[in-house]
Amino acid sequence: MSISGARSDVGRVRRSNQDGGYAGTYLFVVADGMGGHAGGDVASHITVTHLAALDREFETIESARDALRDAMLEANAMLITVVDDYPQLAGLGTTASAMLRVGNQAVIAHIGDSRVYRLRTDEFTQLTRDHTFVQKLIDTGQISVEEAAHHPRRSVLMRVLGDVDASPSIDVDVFELDPNDVFLLCSDGLTGVVSDDDIRLVLGKSAAPQTLANELVTRSLAEGAPDNVTVIVARDLETTTAKSTKLIGSASGANPLKALSAANTTGVDIPRAKPSSLPVHTGGLPLSEIVSADAIESRVRAVVVRRRIILAAVILAVIGALIIAGIAFARWTQTHYFLASGASTVVINQGIPQNLLGIPLSSQFADTGIKLADLPTYTRDEISNTVSFDSLDAALAAAKALTPNAQ
């Protein structure tokens, strides 16, 4: 009997399947791509097919752990360089949850909100932690798990593989295998509509892994399947030597980059890189046989430096615009005048009667010599209310009107 079953479905709403998965002999991977038309397909395809090169027997769990973490970071670097060559894919990304077994142990590497579950006898456990905005709210006690299920920002991811972070943090855990363990790797297309209790009920059945995977997808479709849904069920991992290799979803076909035209949906003619320069593959050969790790690191550094330069230029441009606006505003204030009360006389101030961050926007221009004591109370009150004038002549005329002779 096969050790695993795998199925990926586009769902009932989406037009394309941006989920990808791999069920092998030692390795199991689920990736949920994002980034609009084509971007999600590309991200999940590249990630899954790159990780698939790790489906082999490792001598130690430590070497498997390091290889799995490094492969995820390499996939992240590949996505950055792809966006550099195909700017229309900017913002692409993917979750990734992978499990690699070595003897009676296994290592999980995880980023995003796809999940890995384990059913051990009667104990059903989520082995990964969602890297989402609502999970952070749960961790800090701001909302409950029940509230998170209906939170409007429940799909906002805090961490993914993609062109956002050159060195994303990958969760990596090692654990012991038990002969009774049943594992589930899935995208949120399943967990978003099927409850943990229902998932546990299905995994507890004695049917073949492929039958269980099919039933889980069917349950998602019955609930409306608003998103792509991808499921991998694996069991008997501690003792089996059965061979298996299955690519599903976006990973099952040719690299989606081949379908991209130079003129993207933006309508802008963007030159494409030569196919031979792209650090991607369509399965079979590992990355090291196409592009060296040093070459990837060099290209990622170049992309990061270029983005930092662009960011610095934008910041300088904004600062420059603010300075120009500030100078223009300061000049405008100096075209205004208002009457004010000095120590004992009426004075004319240049500027406007306000403060900015505690700094007065006016200064005394002239002393009229009109004594405040000679003015009626209501007139002194009017001066205190500081009426602004658009010219010095208007201010002088108003001051003249205050004199006893003018009244």
Kindly report, residue by residue over 191-236, the tens digit of the pLDDT: 999 999 999 999 999 999 999 999 999 999 999 999 999 999 999 8
Q: Is the pLDDT of residue 354 over 80?
A: no
Confidence band, pLDDT 50/70/90 cuts, at residue 238: confident
Whose tokens are 């002194």? That residue is 380
> CA-to-CA distance for 250 and 229, rounded, in angstroms?
12
In 275-400 the beta strands, taken as DSSP E runs, fall at 337-341, 345-356, 359-371, 388-389
> CA-to-CA distance for 150 and 126, rounded, in angstroms?
20
The mean-pLDDT minimum among 155-164, 266-275, 296-305 falls in: 266-275
91 Cβ contact partners less than 8 Å away, ≥ 6 residues apart: 35, 36, 39, 162, 163
Backbone angles phi, psi at 131, to 5 degrees: -100, 65
> CA-to-CA distance for 108 and 175, rounded, in angstroms?
8
- Average the pLDDT over 238-247 and give the result: 79
> CA-to-CA distance for 20 and 47, rounded, in angstroms?
9
Q: What is the architecture, at CATH level 2, of domain 4-249?
A: 4-Layer Sandwich (3.60)
Q: Where are the domains of the chain?
A: 4-249, 337-400
**In this predicted structure, what is the pLDDT of residue 369?**
80
**In this predicted structure, what is the pLDDT of residue 275?**
33
Q: Is residue 21 within 8 Å of 29, Cβ to Cβ?
A: yes
Retrieve residue 220's tokens.
């998602």
**DSSP class of 103:** T
**In this predicted structure, what is the pLDDT of residue 2?**
67
**In this predicted structure, what is the pLDDT of residue 404?**
59
Residue-averaged pLDDT of the chain: 83
Q: Tell me the whole-structure pTM to 2 decimals.
A: 0.67
> CA-to-CA distance for 194 and 189, rounded, in angstroms?
9
In 103-228 the beta strands, taken as DSSP E runs, fall at 105-111, 115-120, 123-126, 161-162, 171-176, 181-186
- The neighbour count for residue 227, using CB atoms within 10 Å, is 22
Q: Is the pLDDT of residue 52 over 60?
A: yes
**Alpha helices per DSSP H over 164-265:** 188-191, 196-203, 209-222
> CA-to-CA distance for 292 and 281, rounded, in angstroms?
13
The number of residues in the chain equals 407
Q: Is residue 68 within 8 Å of 58, Cβ to Cβ?
A: no
Q: Is the pLDDT of residue 147 over 90?
A: no
Q: Which of 45, 83, 76 has its CA nearest to residue 307?
A: 83
- Indicate the pairing of strand 105-111 with strand 171-176: antiparallel
Retrieve residue 290's tokens.
């196409």
Q: How far, in whole angstroms, is CA 351 from its chain's centroid?
A: 47
- Indicate the pairing of strand 96-102 with strand 105-111: antiparallel
**In this predicted structure, what is the pLDDT of residue 258?**
80
Retrieve residue 301's tokens.
């550094």
Q: Is the pLDDT of residue 42 over 80?
A: yes
283 vs 10, more confident: 10
